[in-house]
Amino acid sequence: MSIRIALAGNPNCGKTTLFNALTGSNQFVGNWPGVTVEKKEGKLKKHSDVTITDLPGIYSLSPYTLEEVVARNYLINERPDAILNIVDGTNLERNLYLTTQVTELGIPVVVAVNMMDIVKKNGDQINISELSRRLGCKVVDISALKGDGITEAAEEAIKAAKNGKTIPQHTFSGPVEHAIAHIEEAILHDMPEEQQRWYAIKIFERDDKVLEKLNIPADKMTHIENDIKAAEKELDDDSESIITNERYIYIAEVIKSCYKKKNVGSKSTSDKIDKIVTNRFLGLPIFALVMFLVYWIAMVAVGTPATDWVNDNLFGDGFHLFGKDGGYEEIAERYGEASAIVDGYDAYVEENGVAPEGDFIYTIEDEETLEVSEITATKEEYAEAVKTLEEIGEEPDPADYGTWVPSIPALVEKGLDSAHAAGWLKGLILDGIVAGVGAVLGFVPQMLVLFLLLAFLEACGYMSRIAFILDRIFRKFGLSGKSFIPMLVGVGCGVPGIMASRTIENERDRRMTIMTTTFIPCGAKLPFIAMIAGALFSGSAWVSTSAYFIGMAAIVISGIMLKKTKMFAGDPAPFVMELPAYHMPTLGNVLRSMWERGWSFIKKAGTIILLSTIVVWFTSRFGFVEGSFRMLEEEELKFSILAKIGNAIAWVFAPLGWGNWQATVASFTGLVAKENIVGTMGILYGGGDLTTWQALAAAFTGVTGFSFLVFNLLCAPCFAAIGAIKREMNNAKWTWFAILYQCGFAYAVALMITQFGNAFTGKADAIGLAFAVAVLGAIIYMLFIKGYKEANKLEKVGAFR
């Protein structure tokens, strides 16, 4: 017999951690029917016949949010065999509110009191057996984070599913019970007995969705309405508030008999930490410092050496196993310097027709910066250089010094040569697929480090505090703190970030959040950020960190400006969010989160980016020359199909300082997937004698490179995210408005960076600077003008309906 167990609990109670621990890799993710809320199901480990469904985190079964509706519909309509209700032991009173509701459903319930390790650490005590007696169901204590008791909880849920129903132990006051009994007798007597009480309570609360579902005849509704009004009159409150109050009275009695707190009134460790990190004045600087450290560690301290190793060795020249080169580096350096001196001597002779009588000049080019240094050499040094070359002989081969591991491109090229592959096929594979996909995969180490650090911040509870801190700031600019949640999710990927906006009840705020969420750099943009930072700014951490804060600034500025318009005017929605206790996350959970994000990126590189690089290579390497269509030489790429397309639209980006066809095409391929920008640049800038980074350093200045970076961070996201925008907006005109606003705003910011940056470095363009000043003036004007006068009277946005 197959058994279905539903996991129900408040947000941040450890429900997802428990779900991951119980199911492991046996998970499958989709969407609930008809809505974009994620549906997670999985098979219980060692029980192929037990399916566990992870319901959205909810505080109650009231139909106020989409999550609550989804969870409630599943429990009522699907009626799983058992409910495993996860309760946060450190916040027992609030969590038991949901418990009082799920025990009324007539479905077997097992309560798992989570975070018992923290409860014991605080010196508090929970009497599990007494709590079980009071609730009328089995209660087990667990620590989902450490894996303690989770197997027992699952086994108890299976037992409960096989054995039968849960009978709620709590009752309400006399007037309420009298009304509920009348409702059951008048309307619900034909319904299964175990379901009657829950429906009766919901009818008493005048729950719209239940009343609509039952379609109660008017005469019967009038009869029970009299009973409800009688209870309201006697208890001097509305029916819904009466039930809420009665539940909390019951919960208070349960807490009094089961829960003993050691230090009543004293501050917990989390409270002490929050006094600092959520401080009105220190909160934001601490957040900025934390994010700088995260990006510095990921992009400079740990990530960059790893990425450099991958780019230089795995996708570069190759490497010596275990770093043992048998003296190759020393010999290669001697050979290189001696060759440069001899070449300088020969160049002098060729230019002047005679040997130098005294000193002469030779040049050495730095491989990373492309800087050429002129060095003076003596005739004695020339003689020594000749001896060195005679001693070493041919240019040293690294394979002759230690165990040499060839790079991926070298291995692929060797295989192609052995197969006598055609020139075009060799070019496609080496210069297209390997160069493009390899340029993207080279940044995987940096991304994994960043994902690891972000997963740690999320798991330990700090990111929830950021939402709280930013709510104060966002609210001043017309945005709700709820808008930060999609942005936080969007750090991993813009698609779930956009979908997370559905939790915002206010339609205006929701649409504005959808439009601005992708300003925050997502995981797909990180390789691009790393490439520009590495090629143009020596891998500086401030470039990577600034990308994050430029995204946040764009959101704030957009929020202020859009709130001044009729379409978005109005007060932001209130923000309530759970702040979980700080805790040290388990290594397994953090590594799982890092791997899931990283593997998703790698899979995308193997599919979407692979196809894109093939298209980019073909269109950039073929074209019409002198009336014939053929594969082009390196110096003929300006005649390629891609160059023709790029040049036709490159003029649009000329005011931004990078109006060449390569950069233009890279920006457009970024619409397929933002990682594509790196792959495209790896193909278009990676040919010839220069590496991709060298070619980028030659093609961009610091100012234009940063302008290119910011434009692609802020402009329209990838096609997948645009699709999510269309689904969430549910309106084509609103979707186009969002895309045009994102591109327009990105263009304006990039224009100001280029023109003001060039003016600062003494390369000012009068016309471009005038336009940049006008754009800045327009933004300042929008920031400080008064908003729409009737803002607070607007209930719906109908500008595009």
Is residue 725 in some structural domain? yes
As a whole number, the mean pLDDT across the chain is 81
pLDDT of residue 795: 38
pLDDT of residue 111: 92
Judged by phi (left if over 0) then psi (alpha if -120 to 50, else beta), residue 730 lies in left
Q: How far is CA 642 from the centre of its chain?
A: 32
Is 13 annotated as belonging to a binding site? yes
Contact 567, 508 (CB under 8 A): yes
With a cut of 60, say whether residue 343 has pLDDT above it: yes
Residue 229 sits in a domain of what CATH number? 1.10.287.1770
Is 10 annotated as belonging to a binding site? yes
Per-residue pLDDT band for 618 (boundaries 50, 70, 90) equals: confident
Q: Are strands 109-114 and 138-141 parallel, antiparallel or unpaired?
A: parallel
Q: What is the mean pLDDT of residues 332-336?
A: 89
Q: Which is nearest to 696 in space by CA: 710, 682, 707?
A: 682
Domain boundary (260, 284, 299) is at: 260
Is 723 annotated as belonging to a binding site? no
Q: Is 151 in the same domain as 196?
A: no
Residue type at 546 in one-letter notation: S
Q: Is 214 in the same domain as 139?
A: no
Judged by phi (left if over 0) then psi (alpha if -120 to 50, else beta), residue 138 lies in beta
Is 236 annotated as belonging to a binding site? no
Is 20 annotated as belonging to a binding site? yes
Is 461 annotated as belonging to a binding site? no
Is 15 annotated as belonging to a binding site? yes
Q: Is 97 in the same domain as 186?
A: no
Is 263 annotated as belonging to a binding site? no
With a cut of 70, say whether residue 99 has pLDDT above it: yes
Rounded to whole angstroms, the Cα distance separating 576 from 573 reads 10
Is residue 29 in some structural domain? yes
The DSSP output letter for 148 is: B
Q: Is 401 in the same domain as 347?
A: yes
Q: Is 503 in the same domain as 548?
A: yes
With a cut of 50, say whether residue 784 has pLDDT above it: yes
Judged by phi (left if over 0) then psi (alpha if -120 to 50, else beta), residue 327 lies in left
Is 69 annotated as belonging to a binding site? no
Is 688 annotated as belonging to a binding site? no
Q: Is 251 in the same domain as 396?
A: no
With a cut of 80, say whether residue 405 has pLDDT above it: yes
Residue predicted with more confidence, 53 or 299: 53
Is 190 annotated as belonging to a binding site? no
Contact 13, 57 (CB under 8 A): yes
Is 57 annotated as belonging to a binding site? yes
pLDDT of residue 688: 56
Q: Is 108 in the same domain as 240?
A: no
pLDDT of residue 487: 74
Is 114 annotated as belonging to a binding site? yes
Judged by phi (left if over 0) then psi (alpha if -120 to 50, else beta), residue 355 lies in beta
Is 116 annotated as belonging to a binding site? yes
Per-residue pLDDT band for 794 (boundaries 50, 70, 90) equals: very low
With a cut of 90, say whether residue 311 has pLDDT above it: no
Q: Which is nearest to 295 in space by CA: 529, 458, 516?
A: 529
Residue predicted with more confidence, 111 or 765: 111
Q: Is 624 in the same domain as 724?
A: yes
User: Tokens at residue 327, please?
Assistant: 């003296």
Q: Which is nearest to 608 in space by CA: 720, 758, 470?
A: 720
* Greatest mean pLDDT among 59-63, 652-656, 728-732: 652-656
Domain count along the chain: 4
pLDDT of residue 689: 55
pLDDT of residue 798: 38
Is 516 annotated as belonging to a binding site? no
Domain boundary (163, 198, 218) is at: 163
Q: Is 83 in the same domain as 60?
A: yes
Contact 517, 497 (CB under 8 A): yes
pLDDT of residue 86: 93
Is residue 531 in some structural domain? yes
Q: Is 391 in the same domain as 460?
A: no
Contact 714, 554 (CB under 8 A): yes
Is residue 799 in some structural domain? no
Per-residue pLDDT band for 746 (boundaries 50, 70, 90) equals: very high
Residue 374, strand partner residues: 363
SS (H, E, C) 176-194: HHHHHHHHHHHCCCCCCHH
CA distance to 317, 466, 582, per residue, from 458 (Å): 38, 10, 10
Is 12 annotated as belonging to a binding site? yes
Contact 324, 581 (CB under 8 A): no
pLDDT digits (tens, 9 = 90+) for 228-265: 888 888 888 888 888 888 888 888 888 888 888 776 65
Residue 72 sits in a domain of what CATH number? 3.40.50.300
Per-residue pLDDT band for 302 (boundaries 50, 70, 90) equals: confident
Residue type at 590 in one-letter notation: V
Is 55 annotated as belonging to a binding site? yes
Contact 516, 510 (CB under 8 A): no
* pLDDT > 90: percent of the chain: 11
What is the biggest distance separating any 2 CA atoms in the chain, rounded to whole angstroms?
119
Is 35 annotated as belonging to a binding site? yes
CB atoms within 10 A of CB 29: 10
SS (H, E, C) 80-130: CCEEEEEEEHHHHHHHHHHHHHHCCCCCCEEEEEECHHHHHHCCCEECHHH
With a cut of 90, say whether residue 744 has pLDDT above it: yes
Residue 126, strand partner residues: 259
* Greatest mean pLDDT among 428-442, 549-563, 690-704: 549-563
Is 462 exposed, middle or buried, given 0-12, 13-18 or 19+ CB atoms closer than 10 A?
middle
> Tokens 């699907």 label which residue?
78
pTM of the complete model: 0.62
Is residue 749 in some structural domain? yes
The full DSSP string for 567-581 is TT-SPPPP-----PP
pLDDT of residue 765: 83
Domain boundary (163, 198, 222) is at: 163
Is 34 annotated as belonging to a binding site? yes
Q: Is 459 in the same domain as 548?
A: yes
pLDDT of residue 27: 63
Q: Which domain holds residue 50?
A: 3-163
Is 799 annotated as belonging to a binding site? no
pLDDT of residue 801: 34
Is residue 290 in some structural domain? no
Q: Is 57 in the same domain as 9?
A: yes
**CA dihedral over 524, 694, 680, 599, signed as positive or negative:** negative
pLDDT of residue 796: 39
Rounded to whole angstroms, the Cα distance separating 729 from 502 reads 10
pLDDT of residue 788: 55
Is 231 annotated as belonging to a binding site? no
Is residue 743 in some structural domain? yes
Q: What is the mean pLDDT of residues 490-514?
A: 75
